[in-house]
Amino acid sequence: MKKEAETKPMRPELAEMIKRHSFGFDENRPDAVEKQRQRNQRTARANVEDLCDAESFMEYGALAVAAQRGRRSQEDLTSKTPADGLIAGIGPVNDPLFPEEKSRCMVMAYDYTVLAGTQGFFNHKKMDRMLKLAFEQSLPLVLFAGGGGGRPGDVDAIGVMTAGLDLSTFGEFAKLSGRVPLIGVVSGPCFAGNAALLGCCDVIIATKNSNIGMGGPVMIEGGGLGIFKPEEIGPIDVQSANGVVDIEVADDVDAVATVKKYLSYFQGATAKWEAADQLRLRDLIPENNKRAYNVRNVIKALADTDSFLELRPKFGPGMVTGFLRIEGRPFGVIANNCMHMAGAIEAEGADKAVKLMQICQAHGLPVLSLCDTPGFMVGPEIEKRAQVRHVCRMFVVGSHLTVPYFTVVLRRGYGLGVMAMAKGGFHESFFTTSWPTGEFGAMGIEGAIKAGFKKELAAIEDEKEREKLYEHLVGELYKRGKAVNIASYLEIDAVIDPADTRKWIMRGLKSVPAGKAKEPCHAFVDPW
């Protein structure tokens, strides 16, 4: 038998409220849903509901409409501009993997089906409200940033502003940097004001059909710079190669899954984990020390299964950065890639490493450094890329880190470059260990012999005898620079079995004072 309340006629104000909310639901907007489907995209609401449980998501400002009452009817605005093009609220991400206090997250999603995802008067006001809450409650923030920037058609705002350059949105968004994880997501076009917010994020995740630019077609044409289609401005191949995009994904589904994985590193340890047979690590470094190998295979073998997430793989290829888990505990990782320029550190690779360090420092993650480098890259051409300033960022930022920092030398550890990888020097890390394959020197051994014994070698006229002396000197210096010999002089802390690397890292983590990682030195995360 139905309850009396279920049989009574619905009060008109309640019916109106339900109807007004219904205009924002995808099931009542089939045309908008279909347009997104044709673009191989989902709606903003579908992305939010995939990221957060729809039943648990608490939406703010759902009844807002565009500030265009002076030129459009209320019915038109309600049906065509729901939420003023910005879905915003708080909901759990990765629940129940992490407890409620760890899974709470602020989500803001520009709705491209509403006036091309532009930034309207009321969605700015809504965003300001949400940013205040995110700051006060220390909520991680996920921004779905797709859209065309400022909206000139909000005529209702003319009475309260002119240029609108006194908006607090951009400053308040930027203030969150370093306080909470900031994750930007792009699918499709993202220009002007939308891109300005995106660029403040710690990490940018973008789909293959993305276009990102500080100015869109309208702004470019208005500046007299030509006429371009959106697809010609900041395509994914450009923005991945130049370092703007941190993680390139296939589509919206992949983007949301990647957001969940990225955010999980800042939500704590996982109780369940698996790892590969660690004996594999003994054979991943070639016996011939001149041969290259893929350091990503080392990272994946060392990490918990499927826990490695790489950042900016197409930018600064000499350095690999990202996040992983060991025994369920999250870490940031930086590693030299000997398959590019033998692992020499270039300006772009240094920038990658510094960005990773800053994210870890801001949010309390320990850093694991895997070294195999002949040092900083040198030569006239590299200096044209401001090498001196860029690579020295590793020293400055590294010296200010307070999170646990563990250095493992896989093979080569030469010169200033490996010192930068070790937080400034081998005795600056919590520990510096080496695999038995480690080899060390103030500079590359062959180069050191050629420079240091130039006169002696030149004095020998017989070419074979000269080569014989050269090989002898090189061999002696290799013996002196072997990991076991370096360790005997206490320049490094230990030489370890590669299969024990995870054990060393976990022992180190358990040995660090509990409060050490909670002493921030960086007030923000550099957008670059």
Domain with residue 343: its CATH number is 3.90.226.10
- Please provide residue 394's backbone torsions phi and psi, each rounded to the nearest 5 degrees: -65, -40
More confident: 475 or 196: 196
pLDDT of residue 460: 82
Residue 11 is classified by DSSP as P
pLDDT of residue 374: 94
311 and 247, same domain (yes or no) = no
Which of the residue ranges 63-77, 314-328, 381-395 would you say has the lowest mean pLDDT?
A: 63-77
The answer to whether 82 touches 116, Cβ cutoff 8 Å, is: no
Query: Does residue 519 have a pLDDT over 90?
Result: no
Query: Does residue 515 have a pLDDT over 60?
Result: no
258 and 356, same domain (yes or no) = no
The answer to whether 347 touches 386, Cβ cutoff 8 Å, is: yes
How many whole angstroms separate alpha carbon 106 and alpha carbon 223?
A: 36
pLDDT of residue 2: 58
Helix (H, G, I), strand (E, B) or coil at 274: coil
148 and 217, same domain (yes or no) = yes
Question: Taking all residues of the chain, what is their mean pLDDT, rounded to a whole number?
Answer: 92
The amino acid present at 481, given as its one-letter code, is G
pLDDT of residue 514: 67
- What is the average pLDDT across 170-197? 96
The amino acid present at 465, given as its one-letter code, is E
Helices 44-51, 252-264: axis angle to 10 degrees equals 30
pLDDT of residue 498: 98
Residue 462 lies in a domain: yes
The answer to whether 437 touches 483, Cβ cutoff 8 Å, is: yes
Residue 102 lies in a domain: yes
Residue 273 lies in a domain: no
The answer to whether 422 touches 428, Cβ cutoff 8 Å, is: yes
Query: Does residue 54 have a pLDDT over 60?
Result: yes
Tally of CA atoms within 13 A in the half-sphere of 391 that contains its CB:
23
pLDDT of residue 378: 93
pLDDT of residue 4: 59
- What is the average pLDDT across 281-304? 97
- What is the average pLDDT across 385-390? 96
350 and 232, same domain (yes or no) = no
pLDDT of residue 6: 65
User: Does 96 sit behind a cis peptide bond, omega within 30 degrees of 0 on the bond before it?
Assistant: yes
Q: How many domains does the chain have?
A: 3
Residue 149 is classified by DSSP as S
385 and 477, same domain (yes or no) = no
pLDDT of residue 521: 52
Of the pLDDT bands very low, low, confident and very high (cuts 50, 70, 90), residue 152 is confident
pLDDT of residue 3: 62
pLDDT of residue 166: 80
Query: Does residue 446 have a pLDDT over 80?
Result: no
* Residue found under tokens 């629940």: 95
238 and 317, same domain (yes or no) = no
Q: Which residues contact 215 (CB under 8 A, 6 or more apart)?
A: 191, 192, 223, 233
Residue 170 lies in a domain: yes
Q: Pairing mode, if any, of strands 431-434 and 494-495?
A: parallel
The answer to whether 364 touches 403, Cβ cutoff 8 Å, is: yes
- What is the average pLDDT across 385-393? 96
79 and 203, same domain (yes or no) = yes
More confident: 275 or 101: 275
Helix (H, G, I), strand (E, B) or coil at 415: helix
40 and 154, same domain (yes or no) = yes
450 and 428, same domain (yes or no) = no
Query: Does residue 522 have a pLDDT over 70?
Result: no
422 and 391, same domain (yes or no) = yes
Residue 200 lies in a domain: yes
Which of the residue ranges 39-43, 196-200, 470-474 would you say has the lowest mean pLDDT?
A: 470-474
Of the pLDDT bands very low, low, confident and very high (cuts 50, 70, 90), residue 450 is confident
* Burial bucket for residue 268 (CB in 10 Å: 0-12, 13-18, 19+): middle
Chain segment 223-268, per-residue pLDDT in tens: 999 999 999 999 999 999 999 999 999 999 999 999 999 999 999 9
Query: Does residue 10 have a pLDDT over 80?
Result: yes
211 and 234, same domain (yes or no) = yes
Distances (CA, A) of 442 to 374, 469, 476, 477: 10, 21, 15, 11
Give the structural domain span for 413. 278-438+482-518
Q: Write down the pTM of the prediction.
A: 0.93
332 and 186, same domain (yes or no) = no
Q: Which residues contact 240 (CB under 8 A, 6 or more apart)?
A: 206, 248, 312, 314, 315
Q: Pairing mode, if any, of strands 494-495 and 309-311?
A: unpaired
| Alpha carbon distance, N-terminus to C-terminus of the chain | 64
The answer to whether 346 touches 382, Cβ cutoff 8 Å, is: yes
CA torsion 317-527-398-437 (nearest 10°) is -20
pLDDT of residue 462: 79
The answer to whether 369 touches 405, Cβ cutoff 8 Å, is: yes
pLDDT of residue 457: 77
